[in-house]
Amino acid sequence: MCDKVFEEDATQEEVYAGTTRPLVEAVLRGHNATVFAYGATGAGKTYTMVGPEDAADPGQQGVMVRALNELFGQAAHLGDRVTLSYLEIYNENIRDLLNPGGPAGSAGGSLELREDQAGGVRVAGLTEADTRSTAEVLQLLHRGNRARTVEPTAANRASSRSHALLSVRLTRAPTPAAPRALSAPSGRLYMIDLAGSERASNTKNRGKRLQEGGHINRSLLALGNCINALAGGARYVNFRDSKLTRLLKDALTGDCRAVMIAHVSPGERHGDETRNTLAYAHRAGTITSRAGQYRDIVSDLRAEISRLRAKLAEGAEGTDSSSPSAVGPPVSMPTDASTQSGGGPGGPATNPALTRLRDDLVATFREQMRLRRTLLDIDAQLLRLDSETDRQQMILSRANKLYQAQAGAPSTAGTTRTSYRAARSTRSTRGPPSTIASTIADTETSDGESGSPPGSPMRRALYALESIEHERSRLVDLRAKTERDLERARGQAARLEDELPLQASSGEERELLSLVLRVHELEAERLALQGERELRRHELRRRDLLLMRYDRQRHICDEIITRQRRLIEDGRLSLPPDLHDLYRLYQKEIHAAAYSAFSPYSAHGLTDAYGSLGSTFTADSTGRGLYTAQAGADSMDVRTSARTNELPAIRRGERMYRRGTRGQRGHGDGGGGRAGDSASRSSGRSPNSSNGSDWEVATLATLPSVMGRCTSRPSGEARTACSRRSSPSPGLTTALCPPASAASGAPAR
């Protein structure tokens, strides 16, 4: 669930290094990044983000101070400009923590949110402090922290009653002191100390405190809804429900890496809050989509292009302005012949050292291209495995229920579910899939009593999951190795570029750089296209899964209605007229659907719908997933049952109708719709991409990844935290921290 968990004795430095340092590095490379502290009141969010109020010991300083120190240190070194703003949202009012009184004329210091034409949100009148001195910026931060709304509650002696948002913007300005000027775009880091979620019964808040708690919970709920929508891949996410979500829109979408540090208290009495926090963090964690990694690869490449452009522009400054455009591509793409023979971009080079350098440069960039494509390929395979895992999980949980019902063995099913959930959690921590193996062993040993019979859907799903886990850990390792190789190749290219001015005249140097730039540009376009194509495929798989899920939900609802009706009829209960009308409407609907059910499309739809339980997944030697469809229920059975058992049969008919319609719409091939769909999945092709159908496909808006930090109570209960994933994917991260009641002497909750 969490990418990293921090033990109770984890130091502030460890938590910072495990969660936020990679974000600071990303910001220095021109990305946007966000770190949130989330958790119940008193769980230690402010301690993590800010540090204790009287932190004389630098070791106690929180994430904000550490990140600012590091950013300012690097920025001063590079001559970059850093600006900072700090605000709080208290009772849905925005207050400038660097200027708590607000600008003249503001109502009680409350600032307004304004939307610009591009849909971006800004806070009117918010102070953007511009400083190059680390000491000064820390002073500003402390001043802002002192201005925050803090009140004592039963749960926390100094409870922050507001959400605090610290935003640091890094701007690369071209100055003579900054030789790498324009080498990367500007980046922004948001650091957010959310107010704690709270239960009135625990906090014993009354009056004003209770009202604050209501605002806090409402905005956290709005944030949770956005997270849920993003995690579910929704096309429309409602950020407008609270000021917090409006402000965080940029941080939650687009090219923004994010870490959520979820704070929990492992004490038993905090069980409910811990569970809620973990569920919230887990949901946030699922926003992290591998989809974001495509954009990451491409955006790194684009940053490299900007750097090369800047370098070319710098080189052009001192040369004749009538010479060929320094930034434009004066050379054509290298052909294999030209690059291999040493024939350069501008004709054969006479200087052997320069020829060698050019060949090395081209070879290094070719290697980088190859590695980037490999990364993209691995990500595509991982995406497929993610979808397949979800599918097999659904099959498993369905099969579990069936066995529970048939064998009357809730204990085994329960064990399987629990074990599998644990097994699934090994996915993110890259642990061995041993839990799945032991679950399989469990079900095997309990055969005949309550376990699943050999060859059953449950057993097949477990085996499929086991092979998926093996494949996933192989791919994750391969990805890590490829990233290391890419980093090495980048270093090698940088060294060769540094050697260029020594070996080449400025004209030759610019030509070579133009060549490299052009290669990068073409590569970026290619990768972007490839990535978007893969995202569309993923979106189609996600929608297929969603349809399966809806089918399941409808099936359960139908079952409930049928049984309730039986109860009503058997007990001769009289119905309220409106309910009676609803039943009639329902009956009409399913009858209408039943007629359509026997359309030519139905057989395919039904086979696919029911066959889902019997389909299996295997991975071939290249790691690509193969689907093997197996026969499900056949349409004759259903027609028979339609006569003998009206309600359930009609329900099935309706499902057939919907499937048939979808297949027809997607492929324009009538009854072959779903079959075509299955076939194209088997071959790894998207039905959508293959025929240019009119399906609308939404691309997931993703955060890079979610990290978590869980700190437990200082009194000896665990302090735990979750940290960022190994791969630098964009997303949200989550973490957990302890309530300070023990340390602070606040009353125990």
Ligand X SMILES: Nc1ncnc2c1ncn2[C@@H]1O[C@H](COP(=O)(O)OP(=O)(O)OP(=O)(O)O)[C@@H](O)[C@H]1O
Residues 137-166, one symbol each (x = binds ligand X by CB under 6 A, - = not), give -------------------x-xxx------
Annotated binding site: 39-46
- Among 154, 195, 230, 486, interactor with ligand X by CB under 6 A: 195
Helix (H, G, I), strand (E, B) or coil at 718: coil
Task: Report the amino acid identity of residue 359.
Answer: D
Cα gap 125→110, rounded to integer Å = 10
Shortest distance (Å) from residue 273 CB to ligand X: 11
Which is nearer to ligand X, 11 or 640 (by Cβ)? 11
Instruction: Tell me the Ramachandran region of residue 687: left when phi exceeds 0, alpha when psi lies from -120 to 50, beta otherwise.
Output: alpha
Cα gap 388→380, rounded to integer Å = 12
- What value does the CA radius of gyration of the chain take, rounded to a whole number of Å? 30
Which is nearer to ligand X, 158 or 394 (by Cβ)? 158
- Among 376, 590, 740, 749, interactor with ligand X by CB under 6 A: 740
Shortest distance (Å) from residue 710 CB to ligand X: 10
Shortest distance (Å) from residue 167 CB to ligand X: 19
In degrees, rounded to 5, the angle at the alpha carbon of residue 52 between the alpha carbons of residues 47 and 58 is: 105
Binding-residue total with ligand X (CB under 6 A): 25
Helix (H, G, I), strand (E, B) or coil at 43: coil
Annotated binding site for ATP: 39-46
Q: How many Cα atoms within 13 Å fall on the side-chain side of residue 210?
A: 6
List Cβ<8 Å contacts ≥24 apart for 554-557. Answer: 554/651, 554/655, 555/651, 555/655
User: Helix 673-682 and helix 506-570: axis angle, to 10°?
Assistant: 130
User: Helix 410-429 and helix 457-503: axis angle, to 10°?
Assistant: 0
Shortest distance (Å) from residue 231 CB to ligand X: 24
163-171 and 81-90 beta bridge pairing: antiparallel
Cα gap 669→601, rounded to integer Å = 10
Which is nearer to ligand X, 51 or 102 (by Cβ)? 51
Total residues found in the chain within this entry = 749
Which residues ranging from 36 to 65 are in contact with ligand X (CB under 6 A)?
A: 39, 41-47, 52
User: Helix 207-231 and helix 271-287: axis angle, to 10°?
Assistant: 40
Q: Is 744 in the site for ligand X (CB under 6 A)?
A: yes
Shortest distance (Å) from residue 449 CB to ligand X: 48
Which is nearer to ligand X, 259 or 493 (by Cβ)? 259
Residues 660-699, one symbol each (x = binds ligand X by CB under 6 A, - = not), give ----------------------------------------
Mention every residue, 6+ apart, whose C-beta is less than 8 A from residue 609: 551, 632, 655, 656, 659
Which is nearer to ligand X, 47 or 610 (by Cβ)? 47
Which residues ranging from 378 to 407 are in contact with ligand X (CB under 6 A)?
A: none
| DSSP H or E segment with residue 191 | strand 187-193
Which is nearer to ligand X, 55 or 545 (by Cβ)? 55
Shortest distance (Å) from residue 389 CB to ligand X: 33
Which is nearer to ligand X, 156 or 387 (by Cβ)? 156
Shortest distance (Å) from residue 740 CB to ligand X: 1
Mention every residue, 6+ apart, whose C-beta is less than 8 A from residue 577: none
Cα gap 575→564, rounded to integer Å = 12
Nearest residue to ligand X, by Cβ distance, number only: 740
Which is nearer to ligand X, 37 or 371 (by Cβ)? 37
Shortest distance (Å) from residue 219 CB to ligand X: 13
Which is nearer to ligand X, 39 or 611 (by Cβ)? 39
Shortest distance (Å) from residue 51 CB to ligand X: 8
Shortest distance (Å) from residue 720 CB to ligand X: 10
Closest CA to 67 of 192, 215, 231: 192
For residue 88, which phi and psi values (nearest 5 degrees)? -125, 150
Mention every residue, 6+ apart, whose C-beta is less than 8 A from residue 416: 396, 400, 439, 442, 443, 458, 462
Which residues ranging from 209 to 268 are in contact with ligand X (CB under 6 A)?
A: 263
Which is nearer to ligand X, 531 or 739 (by Cβ)? 739
Cα gap 527→513, rounded to integer Å = 21
Which residues ranging from 697 to 736 are in contact with ligand X (CB under 6 A)?
A: 711, 714, 719
Q: What is the DSSP string of 429-457?
A: HT--THHHHHHHHHHHHTTTTTSPPTT-H
Chain residues in the site for ligand X (CB under 6 A): 39, 41-47, 52, 156, 158-160, 195-196, 263, 711, 714, 719, 737-740, 743-744
